[in-house]
Amino acid sequence: MFPSPFPEFISFFCVQQSSTPDYTILPEEYSFAETLSSNKRRDEYTLGRICAHRALSKFGLESVPILRNAETREPCWPESVRGSITHSDEFAAVAVGLSKDISGVGLDLESLSRSVNFGISRHVCVENEREWLESLPSKQADLALRIIFSAKESIFKCLFPVSRTYLSFQDAKVTVNENESQFSFVLSKACDGITPQGFQHQGKYSVKGTMLLTSVFL
């Protein structure tokens, strides 16, 4: 569905549940999936692992089970890998790269068909972001808010596995470049071992149909 937003040394795979490739999850993953409390969560977990194994096949690691950290709920990748899994509605996407090539990678999928209360901007956005949103026509502002939210999700998923530093939505300021389908960001909080306070970087976003994908890597 989405083309890869990454360079060649990062493996990306995205799929819709209705067109799931002929691939099964591993026994350890299946056992964990059976413990989940709803069909929706089991389907999301399963689809994410199917994507993960397809992405890991680039590095010959498709036979390694990708389980879940019980405390943080993040995927447990092989030691040599940095990765990110995201799912929304019937879609899932995965990006993985070798730790010798990247420090982190983050992905986030959001369904644009899902209604969002614009009031969440008070929790998601810093003052500069809110001022920019308020200057936009309502439809454009709605999409821009979703991009900011999704971008911050990608940023945090990129940084946390290495730093183990919890970031709030207020710890990153995002600037959206609509002409280039990119975003830049500045961190107001240091992430131990990976980024200092004031760190600046950029990521990408893409809209296909009713789905939004944001991505970032270091």
> Domain residues of the chain, as ranges?
10-102, 114-208
pLDDT tens, 176-193? 999 999 999 999 999 988
What would the two tokens of residue 74 be?
Answer: 């993040």
- pLDDT score at 85: 96
| pLDDT of 23 strictly over 80 | no
What's this model's pTM, rounded to 2 decimal places?
0.94
- pLDDT score at 92: 94
CATH topology match: 10-102 vs 114-208: yes
| pLDDT of 20 strictly over 70 | no
Q: Residue 22: which pLDDT band, with cuts at 50, 70 and 90?
A: low
Point out which residues pair with 97 in neighbouring strands: 10, 82
What is the edge-to-edge ordering of all strands in the sheet holding 91-98?
Answer: 10-16, 91-98, 81-88
Q: Which amino acid is at 146?
A: R
Residue with more model confidence, 9 or 35: 9
Any idea which architecture 10-102 has in CATH? Alpha-Beta Complex (3.90)
| Domain 114-208, classified CATH 3.30.70, yes or no | no
∠ CA 143-117-95, rounded to 5°? 50
Mean pLDDT of 147-152: 98
| pLDDT of 73 strictly over 90 | no
- pLDDT score at 37: 85
Q: Residue 25: which pLDDT band, with cuts at 50, 70 and 90?
A: confident
State the chain's mean pLDDT as an integer: 93
| pLDDT of 21 strictly over 60 | no
| pLDDT of 82 strictly over 90 | yes
Percent of the chain with pLDDT over 90: 78
Residue with more model confidence, 205 or 30: 205
Percent of the chain with pLDDT over 70: 97
Run of H or E including 121: helix 121-124
- pLDDT score at 172: 97
Q: Where are the alpha helices (DSSP H) in the chain?
A: 27-33, 39-56, 121-124, 127-134, 138-163
CB 90 within 8 A of CB 76: no
Measure the CA–CA gap between 112 and 114, rounded to whole angstroms: 5
